[in-house]
Amino acid sequence: MAAQKRPLNETTSSRKSKKLKTDEKSKPKEKEVEKSTALTLEEAAFPRGGGTSFTPFEVKTIRAEAVKEADEALFKESREEKGSKKNARKIKKQNISNVSEKGDPVRIEHLNYKRAFVGMKILGQVVSIIPLGLIISLPNQLYGHVPITQISSQFTTVLERFDNRDEGSDEDIAMEDEDEDTQTPDLYGMFHVGQYVRAIVTNVHAAGVSDIMGVGKLRDDLAKASRRMELSLVPEKVNAGVQKTDLKSGFTISAAVKSLEDHGYNLDLGVQDVSGFLSFEDVGRDSPKLHVGHVINVSVSKISANNRVCNVTMDFSLSFSSNHTDIFQLSEISSVNSVLPGTLVQCLITSINPEGINLQVLGFFDGTVDQFHLPKNPPKPFKVGTKVKARILYNYSASPPKFSLALSEHVIRLRPYMVSIGEDSSLLEEAYPVGTVLDAVKVSRVEKERGLIVGLDGQLEGFVHISHLSDDHVPSLTSIGPWKPGTIHRARVTGHFTFDGLLQLSLKRSVLEQKYIQVTDVGVGQTVTGTIKKLTDSAMFVTLSENIDGVVWPNHYADIILKHPAKRFKVGTSIKCRVLVVDAEKNRISLTAKKTLLNSQLPILSNIEDVQPEDLAHAVVFKVHDKHLLVEFYNNLKAVIPLKEVSETPVNSLSEAFSVGKVVKVRIISVQQNQRRIVASIRRATASGSATPDISKVEVGNIVEGVVAEIHKDNAILFLQPSNVKALHSLKNLANHRAIGLPQLKSELKVGERLYELVVVTRNLEKGFVIVANAPKSKLTLPSKIALSIDTIHIGQIVSGRVIRHTRLGALVKVTSHIGGIIHPTDVSDNFDNGLSYPAVDSLVKAAIVKVDEEKRRVTLSTRQSRLRPDQTTQVVDKEINDISDLILGASVRGFVKSIADHGLFVTVGRYIDARVQIRELFDDFIKDWKPRFQVNQLVKGRILSVDIENQKVELTFRSGDLSARQREAQTKRSPSDLHEGEKVDGIIKRIENYGLFIQIEGTKMSGLCHKSELSDNKDADVSVALQNFRQGDRVKAVVIEIDKKRISFSLKPSLFVEEDLDGSAEDEDSGIAGDKRTSSPFGVVDGFMMDDDNDEGEEEDADIQSVEDQSSVEDEDAMEIDEGAAVQSLQRSGENEKSTSTSTVPVPILSLTGGFKWHGLDEPADASGTEEDSSGSESEDIGEGRSHKKKKKRRVIEQDLTAELQTKKPESNADFERVLLGSPNSSYVWIQYMSFQLQLSEIEKAREIGRRAIKTINFREEQERLNVWIALLNLENIYGTDESLDATFKEAARANDSKTIHLRLASILEQSGKHDKALEQYQKTSKKFGLSSKVWTSFAEFLLKSNNLSEARKLLPRSFQSLAKYKHIKTASKFALLEYKHGEPERGKTIFEGIIDSHFKRWDIWSIYIDMEAGQKNIQGIRNIFDRVLALKMTSYKAKSFFKKWLELERRIGDEEGADTVKEKAVEWTQKAATNASS
């Protein structure tokens, strides 16, 4: 019998004191102690035989002491009853505090996959039902899955029986049909979403496991999240530990249907020697029929006298109970295993802490409630010592037993979590579907290792995992970072934790900007652009977003059947498709790449309810019969085309005329929605058979609305609604109506846009279309302008006016008779790509007021869409610049040329803000006649070079490259008037005197005095010691404290600086560099082709012409190698810190050298003024040393040596280059730069002479230097010379150098310059002349592969074997295989490698190259197969170690942890095997 435990709801006063005897109370005391041990699952270590180790006297003494203690306790209780209620409350609080003081409260922890263990019983909620299992939402944001074989043992038996039926005979099936009901229960009929279930953990998998049961085949995030924890609903497992004695009236338990009887169901309760029975009356009329294996939750009503049969009723508490107060409450148990998850128990609060609440469960066990499972707004605050009703969630410790419970209202009631929206309430998934963007969520709690808890509307909360805070890795969180409590962030819903009532959110910018989050976000018929992920024989898979893929079936690859789709579709390339089918249940999207469907402007038919007779649409033939065709529209919508409706002429054979996959235009004849049958016609869809639309109902003068179907050069085609009559609308009329330019209208008008207030102008009854125009604006609106006054208008107000004329400052607008306005050039549009298009003169225009000048009675207007429609989201490409302070140094801006002067340009970049561009800042190269390249109102782009806010001056540059040098140059022109008191500057100590320091401002020629009294904040400090700590040339940070004409006073007191000031210089340098890196587009004139996506090919060709200098055959270093070390050394001699100048934005032909050389002049020094300072600083040091030897001599005045810069100054003339060449006559680098300098001056003949002179001057032993010059001459003749001069130079170079090298270099030069025919001819000559060279054949093959001439390239390998020596065959074949991997087909390269290692299996180097190439393809399974093969060969332990090390590295990089463990095991196995072979 179980111990009769006093219920918790009984008070101590109900117990009466009794006078006890020692003999009568000794035995019951023993029984009570013995039974209490069963509750705690602690086995007493009894001596063998059941005896005791105490003597009879000791036993008697112990019993006496126990009775005495019991008497004292009883009398104490009786005294307490006589006391007042106030004293009773005090004693009760004291007892509770004493209980809490006995030990520390149990630590409250969240459940995670690491803490979960096999055998844990847990309460969950069904969130998804899949064909092969259930997906369960668990506490603390976890998910688990229940395989179909873990529902119940009876259900598994039924599945096995039906599986065997498919293989059995008809007689066996007939016999089974007579015996029992053979209907297979479906999971969708057994469970429903939102149902609470009891489960037990059967397996917890490691992270990254993807092949678990059928769940692994699903691709949605919910299924992926549930893979790690495997659950079971089998009653035998879930109810393990429940005893017969626990089956009392009201006890809830899970059960499975064993069989169907005459009056009810026979149930399996999972309790030994007890079966359950559920009568039909107790099931309920509305409940569905139960099948064998069905798992239900039941409540015990009574148990038979022999304790063998238990009558039960359906327990609806686990499925939307209406009154939770009637739910059975557990108060007595036989053991801890009797406490099942989902049981409602009464608990005592023992402590409250920030993490949650500690409870005492059933008077024996410890329990915890975390913050996620506390009620949002409890009716009364929780206090220590109060009793509450809680529901068991799971047990997380067996010894001692500990439980996690929930006090949240929806778990107590066992209902789905509901969200209140106004007066209504809805499910969490319906109120906030996946993909919803939340503009403002507030961080309410930070969990360092897990993530954030954020608050939404009212009581709703969301959880952001630490991995979804940022696209960058976040190792841990703190309460003072960017996600500290109270901060507001933008988030997106990525899922739901229905059990906890939380939203799953993400703060990642990539997720916020992601177009599609789930399959349902993609619309049927929508045009999408994706990336080809994989191409197989059966389908092509296209990635649309990070976690959404689409499939293109072979009959939708193109309008025709492709025999070799791999030639057209390459993995990784972009592809444009249209969505055919969106299947949310299967989580699949079907796409089509047929051009006809992509370019179709006809309506998208995807739902039979939207299909109307006479609709015209495109369809795809998917089945051909003898008498009719079956065609398919979108979303699996099908139609039938009878034979008579196929064509006007008789068709003998439909299969010959129409193939499966052909796109046809059809017209709907009839729609039968009840039978879901659509009849269509191809014949009536043609021009001759098309029905003329009925336009009789559309009268001239009617006000109509329409949807844009097509946009042409001058007109737009509309379909009027709802008549669907075709209409023609002039774009000029629409542009005038909207008061915008025609180019801007074309960029804004989109297909599918609805136009309102259109007037029917004319009708064409024969052709069935009408002409419409925008209704003229009523003149009654003009008096509103008169009502406007300069006092009533305000900024942001939308007004209308008439354009009077265009001026240099903008378009003048007459708002009223007393108020004028102006539209500035930068206020016309949010995107300057369309150029400066003012509203036409005398046209009406709507504009927003951005500035009001009451004195001049004039307003500044703006026609930007962002101003006109501030409540709508519009794309602003060119932001407004309202003030000069909005400009940032180094930032890229666009503007319009205002005027062209002799010294440069003036560009309008903002409202009343003009920037100057000096001539030297227009181009990277010298352009003599530069004015014709610019015109007024032309769109240009540049970077801010300097901003003078005080004088309102802005300098702009069109040049590319680093801005720091030019900014420093502008810095040198500063004067004392540019400084202000309190400004912090960087300086260099130029002189040290007894009274202070002379400091020169860095980058300028200004200097000043820092008096010794300004060195320290301590007035009593010895400043003479401080002066001794400074040295001439030291860099210091100073503060300007006084400016008296040209005299500047500085201060170095530490109190004037903060830590950020000391780091400022480093940040400035970094910002300058970063600013240049952001510059990705060329500066200067913004041409139209740069903004047009259709001219990509032409743009690439222009880019190739501009960057000829950067083209070099780097990949073929073996065939064409130039001693770059010599060039680098020469460059270092001219200045180690120099940076190369960038390519000019103007396409000027420039020579190219395939060795890393550049054809520009020598690089500019980073800081010209810095050179002067360094030289002067070095002179000062020399003088300082002289002073140390001549101690008391008078200091001499040092004159600056103007020749000190000659060694580092950039050559800027012929004399400078000649001077440099005197010091380095054998440097090809200097000679080539000299040639480039002449080419920039268009002195081509002089460049030739310099090249010839270089060859004569350079020592004959410097072969590489001479070769560089010859290559430069070949480049020069290729670009500027004729075919005859190139051929003569080539022959001369071949005689003077290695002939094979010159042949290959010329071929490479021709290839890079785009002369593919001549390059092919040159490679053919080279292969004939040097057929014994492997480099020649591989270079020739690489050229053909890059030219996409695959067939000719593959013919070279057998041809090369005929010419090459046999020992070169392996080397050549391996190089051909590498080229196939890089430029051809990897499968062909794999075939070549397989052929090599098949005949030369001991070539370990070939094995390694083969593995590296496969690693580049990320083919981990292929790599594993190769390693298995190579390690099976006999080799040394050293070589085996290198292979195992390489394998392990690849597994960690592109494989998984399981593969890495396998490599380690195989390495140990190989070592043991090698040791065994060595010993034997």
d(C-alpha 205, C-alpha 119), whole Å:
14
Phi, psi dihedrals of residue 296, rounded to the nearest 5°:
-135, 165
Under a CB-based contact definition with an 8 Å cutoff, are residues 80 and 88 in contact?
A: yes
Structure tokens belonging to residue 826:
């930068």
Nearest to 125 by CA among 188, 192, 185: 192
**pLDDT tens-place string over residues 1242-1296:** 788 888 889 888 988 998 888 888 899 999 999 888 888 888 888 889 888 888 8
Is residue 1304 pLDDT above 60, yes or no?
Answer: yes
pTM over 0.75: no
- Are the C-beta atoms of 629 and 646 separated by less than 8 Å? yes
Answer with the residue of higher pLDDT: 307 or 621: 621
Answer whether residue 1136 shows pLDDT above 70: no
Query: Residue 166 pLDDT more than 90?
Result: no
For residue 225, the SS3 value is helix
pLDDT tens for residues 1142-1169?
333 333 333 333 333 334 333 333 333 3
Q: Do residues 640 and 651 make contact, with C-beta atoms less than 8 angstroms apart? A: no
Do 406 and 368 meet the contact criterion of CB atoms below 8 Å apart? no
3-class DSSP state for residue 619?
strand
Contact, 11 vs 306, CB < 8 A?
no
- Percentage with pLDDT > 90 across the chain: 10
pLDDT tens digits, 543-558: 988 778 899 999 899 9
Q: Is 66 helix (H, G, I), strand (E, B) or coil?
A: helix
Structure tokens at 462: 């969301």
pLDDT at 376 over 60: yes
Answer for the pair 127, 221: CB distance below 8 angstroms, yes or no: no
Residue type, 52: T
Listed in sequence order, the DSSP H helices in 926-1009 are 964-972
Phi-psi map region of 706: left, alpha, beta (phi>0 left; psi -120 to 50 alpha): beta
DSSP states of 877-930? SS----SGGG--TT-EEEEEEEEEETTEEEEEEETTEEEEEEGGGT-SS--SS-
ω into 147 cis (within 30 of 0): no
Instruction: Dig out the tokens for 915 from the structure.
Output: 């920037």
Helix, coil or strand: residue 332: coil
Highest mean pLDDT among 203-212, 530-539, 863-872, 973-982: 530-539
Average pLDDT of the segment spanning 636-652: 85
**Predicted confidence (pLDDT) per residue in 121-133, tens digit:** 999 999 888 888 8
- Checking if the pLDDT of 654 tops 80, the result is yes
Which of 53-62, 401-410, 966-975, 1395-1404 reaches the highest mean pLDDT?
A: 401-410
| Averaged pLDDT for residues 1110-1133 | 33
Residue 620, pLDDT score: 93
Phi and psi dihedrals of 1100, rounded to 5?
Answer: -65, -35
Could you tell me whether strands 628-632 and 663-672 are parallel, antiparallel, or unpaired per DSSP bridges?
unpaired
Q: Tens digits of per-residue pLDDT, 781-793?
A: 333 444 678 888 8
pLDDT for 766 equals 60
What does the pLDDT read at residue 631?
93
What is the overall mean pLDDT for the chain?
76
pLDDT confidence band for 837 (50 / 70 / 90): confident
Strands 726-730 and 769-774: parallel
Q: Residues 1200-1247: pLDDT tens digits?
A: 444 444 445 567 778 778 878 887 888 888 888 888 888 888 788 888
**What integer pLDDT is reported at residue 406 of this predicted model?**
92
Using a pLDDT cut of 70, give the percent of the chain over it.
76
Taking only the tens place, the pLDDT of each residue in 694-718 is 677 788 878 888 989 888 888 898 8
Ordered alpha helix ranges (H), 1078-1161: 1096-1106, 1124-1134
The DSSP secondary-structure symbol of 185 reads: P
- What is the C-alpha to C-alpha distance for residues 469 and 450, in angstroms, rounded to an integer? 11
The residue with greater pLDDT, 1147 or 290, is 290
- Let me know: does 992 contact 1030? Beta carbons within 8 Å: yes
